[in-house]
Structure 1
Amino acid sequence: MIARPATIAFPSAPEILTDRLRLRMPVHGDFAHRQAFYADARSVWEGGPFTAEQAWRIFASEVGQWPLMGFGPFSMEDRASGEYLGEVGIYQPEGYPEPELGWFVTAGAEGRGIAAEGARAVMAWARASFGWDHIDNYIDPGNARSIALGLRLGGVIVDAPGADPTDVVIRHDLRGLA
């Protein structure tokens, strides 16, 4: 078996700290959490459930956005305990009209405001790093919880293309962020 390198020699995610969270570059060990999410019925809004092989391809391609595009997913962990809580970040696979702000949390992190806290930090980072005026969410119309979160974060539903023709597109104005 070939050993994996201990460090990565190409650009990676910066570390962002919030009151409760540490947002960091995903590592191989995070895949087990992502695989569990994609194997669960909760992944239906992301096109799942997926096999382990399909989940790996999604995870690897999203993490691979960092050296290719300068943005991608952040793994979220509890600052106090180090517990993995989910993922938040900016995604733009082939076919997306613009970069998208997205998230998922582990079952144990649901309902605790983790996704909202991480999303706010990523929006501020995107504004400071890229000067973007806005960022969108592309959400399946059946995903009421994510739509509600996008609106709670201050976004508004707009008539714009999403990743899928049926997506609800929620736009966040970043101009007032530091």
Structure 2
Amino acid sequence: MTSPTPILETDRLLLRAHRVSDFDSFAHLWSLPEPTRFTSGKPLTREEAWRRLAMHRGMWDLMGFGYFAVTEKTSGAFLGDAGVQECHRNIAPSVTGTLEAGWVFLPEAHGRGYAKEAMEAVFSWCSQAHPGKAVTCIIDDENTSSRKLAARLGFVEKARTRYKDRPTIVFWRG
């Protein structure tokens, strides 16, 4: 299933396919302890970041959905990643077969509402492109800011579990 990444626009953001020219900013984001603490669990090397960038692009070809590069509309600055994916995670309850939502932003972009704005655009696109498909997310129990954002985005807690030896909450979007 080859599916080009759509371009989504909000008042302040442009969500688009990741580009090779994003790599330095992307690798920087994924090398930082704060944004990676609850995602990859550790900062990534440039090599690992390159693989993640390629995975983001490849998800679109395999699944017809994926992650977007989130950029500031006025400056073009890379802010982070937001979207949905299929990870075939070893987690109970399973989220396989759902649109698993996620977001990660540079620390300087935190607290500005970018993640909420980006995810609302993603969900609007998902409702048209994949109507009726369940939307989920998993969040580390200690990640209070993402838990608060998930609630503002309409997610409700479905289960408490463990993922990669960490207390994790599975959410479904109502």
Q: Which TM-score band applies after superposition, normalised by the shorter structure?
A: 0.7 to 0.9
Aligned runs of 1:1-178 on 2, under 5 Å?
A: 11-42=3-34, 43-46=36-39, 47-95=41-89, 97=96, 98-159=98-159, 166-173=167-174
CA distance in 1, matches of 2:86, 2:25: 21
Q: Deviations over 1:19-62 (max 9, x none)?
A: 11111111112222221122111111112112211222122112
Q: Percent identity?
A: 32
SS in 2 for 1:132: coil
Query: Do 1:33 and 1:106's aligned partners in 2 also have CA atoms closer than 8 Å?
Result: no
**Would the alpha carbon gap of residues 164 and 150 (structure 1) be closer, same or farther in structure 2, given more than 3 Å must change?**
farther
Question: Number of matched residues?
Answer: 164
Label 1:79 to 1:128 Cα distance change in 2 as closer, same or farther (>3 A).
Answer: same
Render the CA deviation track for 1:117-138: whole Å, top value 9, x for unaligned: 0001101111111103531111
SS, match of residue 167 in structure 1: strand
Cα deviation digits, residues 70-95 of structure 1 (max 9, x gap)? 01111111122222111111111233
Structure 1 residue runs of 5 or longer lacking an equivalent are: 1-9, 174-178
Would the aligned equivalents of 2:18 and 2:56 in 1 still touch at CA under 8 Å? no
- TM-score, normalised to structure 1, is 0.83
**SS in structure 1 of the partner of residue 37 of structure 2:** helix
Change (3 A) 1:89 1:81: same
The residue type equivalent to 2:169 in the other structure is: V
Q: Where does the alignment leave 5 or more consecutive residues of structure 2 unmatched?
A: 90-94
> CA RMSD of the aligned region, Å?
2.0
